[in-house]
Every structure is written in C-alpha cells, then in structure tokens.
Amino acid sequence: MLVRFWGVRGSIATPGQNTVNYGGNTSCVELEIDGNYFVLDAGTGIRLLGLDLHQRRERGTINLLISHPHWDHIQGLPFFMPAFREEYELNIFGYESTNQELEKIIANQMDPTYFPVQLGDLDAKLNFNKVAEGSFRIDDIRIDSIFLNHPGYNIAYRFNWKGKTLVYATDNQPYGFCPHLGRWATDEYFENAKNHSFKHVELYFEDLNERIIDFAKGADLLIHDTQYTPEEFRRKIDWGHSSYEFTAELAIQADVESVILFHHEPEHSDEMVRQIETQTNNILKNAGHNIACQAAHEGLEVLV
C-alpha cells in the first residue's frame, strides 16, 4: 500500500507563508494498492492529484471514497481533471441519508447557483455506491466502514490487504467527553452522568469509544483527525474533532504500528503543527510505546 498526502488541512484551505511546510489544501489522500487507485476525500488537494495522476496513468478506474460531504471533503471534486475525461471511470463511494441520494449530495455543490459546470456535464463515467457500516471488496482488498462521531455523519474506512491494514478516520470527536472534568469518557464521567440521571449514556459512550478502538485495532497505519490542542478542544466541544491527547490515546489503545496526525486546524501555523507533533510523540513515549508518529504534510509518502 502506497499512501500519498495531497491535502492535510481541516475545514478550509489555508494558503500562505505560515502553512508552507505542512500545506494548506483540505483533505485528500491517495492510496495505491496492487494497481488499484483510491482517493480518500475530495478536498482542494484533489486538484493537484488529478493533474499528477493523469501524467502517470492517462486512463483507468479511480475509486473515490468520501468520508462525509462537508465542504473541506468534497470541494475539490469540480477541479479534478480526470472527472472531465471520458478515459476515466470514477467509482464514488459514500453514505447517503434516507432523504438524499449520494449522487444528489455530490451534484448539489455544482448547482448552477454555485458553480458553472454541472455534474451531468462531466465526461468521465460516474458510478455511485452507497456505503453504510459494513464491508465491501475491490479485487482482493477488503474495505470496512463505520460511523464516527461528527455533526451530520461521517465514515471511517479500513483497508485490509495481504495482512496489511490502513485506517482513515478523519473528523472524529471522542464520545462522552466531559468539559467539567476535562477528559473523555472516564469512570468519573460515567459516575457523574449517572448521578445526573443520564443513566443511558454510560454503556452507550463506553460502547461507542470501544468501537473506534476496535476498528483501528492493530492497524499498520492509522490516519486520524488531530485538529486541536487539549485547550482548544475544551472550547470547541461538539464541533466534531479530536485533540492530540485523544489521538495518542486511540493509537495506544488500538495498539497501532504508526499514526499520522491529520486534518490540521486552519488557525495553526507550521510551528504549531510541529509542536502538536512533538507533544503527541511525548505522550506516546512517556506511556512506554514505540508507535511511530508524525504530522501529515502535503507530499508525504508512506509505504505500508
């Protein structure tokens, strides 16, 4: 599995002199497995990926997996050159709600009010595939999916191929975070919740946090939302993102080989992202773990 990062920023593209090292494009990750091409999310990073891919391939099938349709995960699609070429077939995967089909969700951002070219004008062959929780296969690659904790909905994908595993889990907030205690899902939190007659939450939250830990279990590479510092996280509860403390905790509990910090906060300069990378590594080392950890940057290539 060869992974390439084309967009690592969360929420909004952030070009400028303070973000040149890590990059300012929004979420887009390329994954090449045994001749199969996957693109994880279609943030603004997908524009340069499209140009580069065309240099390398000129035609073929591309599997585009959308985590969720917030702008920073779909906004680059109308600028993805292969979508304008009939030599390409684009298999688009994503969740669709009961009242809106995936095709409509993608088409809406290209409505004439917002964009000059409509989805139906694209020359590539487009196929839409609904994903919910479960598994599907492309050749001998098994892809598992679960929902994450994020406003609206959001899907994490796990790629399994020949004993190697990669988990892509962006835009994820730990369940059961208690702003008063300043921690996520602890025994104290559940005690506190029970005393306040939120009896139903205890198993619910415990269960849900176990789910993402199980989902990432033993992964060779975990790519995870690390948008905030712990202080920012406390101020932005329910915005649907994680602090580096949670990413480190998840990597430890899931016993992964390596973790990549992803979806950087738009307000964070290169220096701040570097500090977050250092802090996360400190947590892992102080807990006695030898998990390789780095912050994603545009152009980063990792062989799994």
Residues of the shown chain interacting with Zn ion in the complex, contacts defined by CB under 5 A: 10, 70, 72, 171
Which residue, 36 or 43, is less far from Zn ion as judged by CB?
A: 43
CB of 152 to Zn ion, least distance (A): 7
Element (DSSP H or E) covering residue 258: strand 258-262
Residues 6+ apart with CB under 8 A from 203: none
Cα separation, 118 vs 234, in Å, equals 41
**Smallest distance from Zn ion to CB 150, Å:** 6
Is the alpha carbon torsion for 269, 271, 272, 276 positive or negative?
A: positive
Q: Which residue number, 72 or 265, has a Cβ lying nearer to Zn ion?
A: 72
The residues with which 30 forms a beta bridge, in sequence order, are 4, 39
Task: Please identify, using beta-carbon distances, which residue of 152 and 230 lies nearer to Zn ion.
Answer: 152
Q: Which amino acid is at 61?
A: T
* Min separation Cβ 224 and Zn ion, Å: 12
Q: Closest residue to Zn ion, Cβ-based?
A: 70
Q: Which DSSP helix (H) or strand (E) runs through 142?
A: strand 141-147
Tokens of 35: 């001749």
φ and ψ of 131, to 5 deg: -120, 135
Specify the residue, 169 or 193, whose C-beta has the smaller distance to Zn ion. 169
What length is written for the chain? 304
**In angstroms, what is the minimal distance from the CB of 26 to Zn ion?**
7
Residues of the chain by 3-state class (helix, strand, coil), percent to 5 = 30, 30, 40
- The identity of residue 242, as a single letter, is S
Q: How far is the CB of 72 from Zn ion (least distance, A)?
A: 4
Q: Which is nearer to Zn ion, 74 or 284 (CB)?
A: 74
8 vs 284, beta carbon nearer Zn ion: 8
